Structure 1
Amino acid sequence: MTDQPDHYYINRVLEGEVNAFSFLVEKYQNMVFTIALKLMKEREEAEDVAQEAFIKCFQSLKKFKGQSKFSTWLYRISYNHCLDKLKEKKRYVRSDHIDEVNESQIDAETDAFYALEQKERKEYIEKALKKLSEDDQLLMTLYYYEELSLKEISEITGIKANNIKIKLYRSRNKLLSLLKDSATLFK
């Protein structure tokens, strides 16, 4: 019961085998947490919101029609739940943080110099990303880090795919400009 498609586990849960939901949680917990952390900004709060999003998903599972991928449906629930929590708190999302997703992707077999160089590049990119708007950060994360399609991002955020394409283009240009500026500072 480990390499089955999502609908297999969904059907098992709907048939009363609630433990099958844990496979879906395990599969998608990193992405749900990434969205929560990106929007909530605080780790503990993001953990709570991510857990609540999975509970909402579980409670609404019988409403899932299969018209989109399960992951897209779950991400939409997570995204909307985060927005609801932010509205409840009546606070604005600050754009001075970025999550540390993919922090440990440097291959353990690479030499120390290469690892240091990669870390420095990542820090430059993260610093530059922090200077982008919250929306730009989220879109860049969903598209580049999580490799979601424009359609999936559209379903999650409610922004039309063509607008996402334009926003991604502009965000890439802003990011490139910021990276060029920081590179000249260190020459």
Structure 2
Amino acid sequence: MNNDKEDQPSLDLKLAVEKVQSGDISAFPMIIRHLQKNILLYCYYLLEDQAEAEDAAQDIFIKCLRRIQDYVPTASFSAWVYKIAHNHCIDLIKKRNRMRQMLSQYRRERAEEDKGNKYTDQIIQLLEKLNTEEKRILLLRALEEYSFDEIGAIMDLKPATVRKKYERIRKKIVKREVQGGRQYEHSLRG
């Protein structure tokens, strides 16, 4: 009897996967419920940032839904989802490292150009307190002056998602959750 109870979640997951593969996406929330906690935890361990892990987990399940037709049951479904999660998080880490390199280069260039500018260090400190995605959105919007549509295309996000995240960044800075943010409020256009 215990065996039946232990096998039930696996059977439920298998049936949900089969339903979604046959076109019944109403079964997909069951897949999410079954795997969400573990995928989120895995993302957190890799990314070491709660908000980034939550965003990554959401993106992973979207990828999973889009690619579910590619799943062939030679390995467990959860292993297939973990592979998607692993690849997604590694890509995010690589982007984060590129962003750090860009920031480091920016810091060196700005230090040379703006030796007399007292705000340079404060701007750099501001950026360092934001997560990778927040930095990218802020830099693309405030410095490069891209539209939300353009930023969405660059970052593979919906424009509405970019707009919402940008507003959160603005509030975070303006409310001084990030030290020194009040003086930059005028630079953070909507």
**Normalising by the residue count of structure 1, what TM-score does the alignment of the two structures yield?**
0.46
Q: Tell me the TM-score normalized by structure 2.
A: 0.45
> Higher RCO, 1 or 2 (CA under 8 Å, sep at least 6)?
1
Higher helix share: 2
Q: Which has the larger radius of gyration?
A: 2
